[in-house]
Amino acid sequence: MEVKQLYTHCLSEATYFITSNGEAAVIDPLRDVDTYIKMAEDAGVKIKYIFETHFHADFVSGHIDLANKTGAPIIYGPDTQAGFKVHVAADGEEFMVGKLKIRVLHTPGHTLESSCYLLHDEAGEPYCIFTGDTLFVGDVGRPDLFSGNLSKEELAGMMFESLNNKIKPLNDNIIVYPAHGPGSSCGKNLGPDTFSTIGAQRATNYAMQQMSKEEFIKSVTTGLTTPPAYFPINAHINKTGYGSIDDVYEKGLAPLSVAQFKEKVKEQAWILDTRPSAVFTTGFVPDSISIGLDGRFAEWAGTILPYDQSFVLVTEPGKERESITRLARVGIDNVLGYLDGGYEAWINAGEQFDLIIDIEADEMAMDLPHDDLIEVIDVRKPAEFDAGHVKGAVNVPLNTLVDPLNIAMIDDASNLYVHCAGGYRSVIAASLLKRQGFHNMRNILGGFSKIKNEKGIKIVTTETIKQ
């Protein structure tokens, strides 16, 4: 028996590959399914089942492509209604993978069809449970993402019953393998680890403590932030189906000459530059949007980019396929090709370029007292801003910069000093502002992590301002 966790930090997502006696199962696969097919070939096993814990909202699963390529059935829990062929398992139904037994535990709450899979080892003993978005390390799945016409309070009530009737009775030594880890927006505040045990969660997870149903509902539904805008889109794609990833690669991996690239842009394709943010600021094709592969690429691509828009890519040489793969993971499939030779080919062709001026935090500290036209744009989340920010700064969270009304609130006559926490999000923001015609702009290297240590910059909190 072998259980492998494959963790994708960009999405804070965990998928699982299970083998026993010549057979394998995959739980919550990513869109790029060739990884699992190769693992099966290398291990000399046949993929027998594809288990889905629920309709994911934060990424497009690879269940359909993997089923088409392997012939393995897709298993969902009770109450599943999908736009493609699935096996809707009954609560308590069991599946054999080699000498292993996997039992379905229907655990509605995050979604109606949410289910966990309890794996019994080759000796027949409960060994681990794949909890999807029902139980995380330190948290539970939020009940407000893809709930049909049920309220978050109704789903939280279901979650209470699921935890108390299906999860809490399990032995302390059973390993908990969730679908997500730290940084995921599928919960409120996931812990730092990607797996745990029932005993550890019973002792430390707030949602596993003894409380009334009313107390639980209040606890789980309080403090929920607005989920990324692409979540309902991905949930719908996972429920209704999607095109083959191979077709996405065939279209997207088309090398474009500078002339062909320009023609695609003339035909209204947007330019997406996936080079590292620190490289992007030194020079880029005008009107490019920067979302570097060096950060939470897929999450920000899904948040920032329109799903009805076509794109052409500028990447580091050799990063074309990775860029397309990571876009496809959140359902952005309409890539029409990439600039052959990358940004260097653009420069060698004598084309115009743009850049973003980077400055250190100490330079910002020197500028602030002497320039009345400076406007500090803080693109962090509201909670980050509230905890501490530059006095007088304007909070325009990155996810809101796609709204023309928010763009209109920024004074184009000001000298904009843009920052986030560490520097990744501010470059995305600066590229979006450049597209909207803002050019008097500075990107603060190191973001607030450097700014807060500068003696010449006044840092306040929202609470101190209220006082």
Residues 26-51: pLDDT tens digits? 999 999 999 999 999 999 999 999 99
Domain boundaries, the chain: 2-234, 243-348, 357-466
* Per-residue pLDDT at 371: 73
In whole angstroms, what is the distance from residue 451 CA to residue 445 CA? 9
Q: Which fold is adopted by the domain 357-466? A: Oxidized Rhodanese; domain 1 (3.40.250)
Q: Which fold is adopted by the domain 243-348? A: Oxidized Rhodanese; domain 1 (3.40.250)
CATH entry 3.60.15.10 includes domain 2-234: yes
pTM for this structure?
0.93
Q: Averaged over 19-29, what is the pLDDT?
A: 98
467 falls in which pLDDT band (50, 70, 90)? Answer: low
408 falls in which pLDDT band (50, 70, 90)? Answer: confident
* Coil vs helix vs strand at 98: coil
User: Same CATH topology for 2-234 and 357-466?
Assistant: no
- Please give the span between the terminal C-alpha atoms of the chain, in angstroms, as a whole number: 60
User: How far is C-alpha 345 from the geometric centre of its chain's CA atoms?
Assistant: 31
pLDDT in tens, 156-202: 999 999 999 999 999 999 999 999 999 898 888 899 999 999 999 99
202-216, 298-312, 358-372: the lowest-pLDDT one: 358-372
39: exposed, middle or buried (C-beta count within 10 Å: 0-12, 13-18, 19+)? middle
For residue 225, CA distances in Å to 145, 235, 383, 435 come to: 11, 18, 9, 28
- Alpha helix locations (H) across 253-380? 258-266, 277-280, 297-304, 320-328, 342-348, 361-367
* Residue 7: both structure tokens together: 């963790």
- Closest to 339 measured CA to CA, from 330, 349, 329, 325: 349
Q: Averaged over 203-228, what is the pLDDT?
A: 94
**Segment holding 441, helix H or strand E:** strand 441-444
* Residue 132: both structure tokens together: 């999807």
Q: Averaged over 7-17, what is the pLDDT?
A: 94
22 falls in which pLDDT band (50, 70, 90)? Answer: very high
